[in-house]
């Protein structure tokens, strides 16, 4: 398994976090739901520091190397400021109340 972390600073970008949230609701979440080998993806943001990014968990390095259905680079206008990959040493799911994890977060609250 492999984890990929990407992060953009939007301070000098041509887009905003709100515009990126619309992109998630209208396009990106649906597209990533069909990506083979993607076990988990979380889109992350920090409005105070104008940062946007994602954390991916992949079944294999081969799955992580495929072309992805993302327009984030196009919308933001640049490559991520940080892009790193890590091997997964171990995984666990703790106790939780929310059974369904898909389609949760700020993009779906409005």
Which strand ranges, in their side-by-side order, compose the sheet holding 2-9? Answer: 38-46, 51-58, 2-9, 82-87
- Lookup: tokens for 55: 């954390």
Short-list 48, 64, 47, 65, CA closest to 56: 64
Q: Give the integer Cα–Cα distance in Å for 96 and 11.
A: 36
Q: Please, what are the domains in the chain?
A: 2-108 (3.30.70.100)
**Phi, psi at residue 10, to the nearest 5°?**
-90, 0
Q: Give the integer Cα–Cα distance in Å for 107 and 104.
A: 8
What pTM was computed for the model? 0.90
Q: Give the integer Cα–Cα distance in Å for 4 and 84.
A: 6
Asked whether 35 and 56 are in contact (CB, 8 A), the reply is no
Short-list 41, 38, 43, 32, CA closest to 105: 43
pLDDT tens, the chain, 110 aa long: 999 999 999 999 989 999 999 999 999 999 999 999 999 999 999 999 999 999 999 999 999 999 999 999 999 999 999 999 999 999 998 888 877 888 889 998 86
């Amino acid at each position: 398994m492999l984890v990929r972390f990407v992060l953009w600073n939007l301070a000098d970008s041509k887009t905003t976090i709100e515009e990126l949230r619309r992109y998630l609701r209208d396009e990106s979440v649906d597209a990533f739901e069909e990506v083979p080998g993607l076990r988990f993806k979380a889109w992350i943001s920090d409005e105070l520091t104008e940062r946007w990014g994602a954390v991916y968990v992949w079944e294999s390095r081969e799955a992580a190397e495929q072309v992805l259905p993302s327009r984030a680079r196009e919308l933001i206008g640049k490559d991520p400021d940080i892009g790193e990959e890590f091997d997964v040493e171990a995984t666990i799911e703790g106790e939780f109340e929310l059974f369904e994890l898909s389609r949760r977060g700020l993009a779906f609250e409005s």
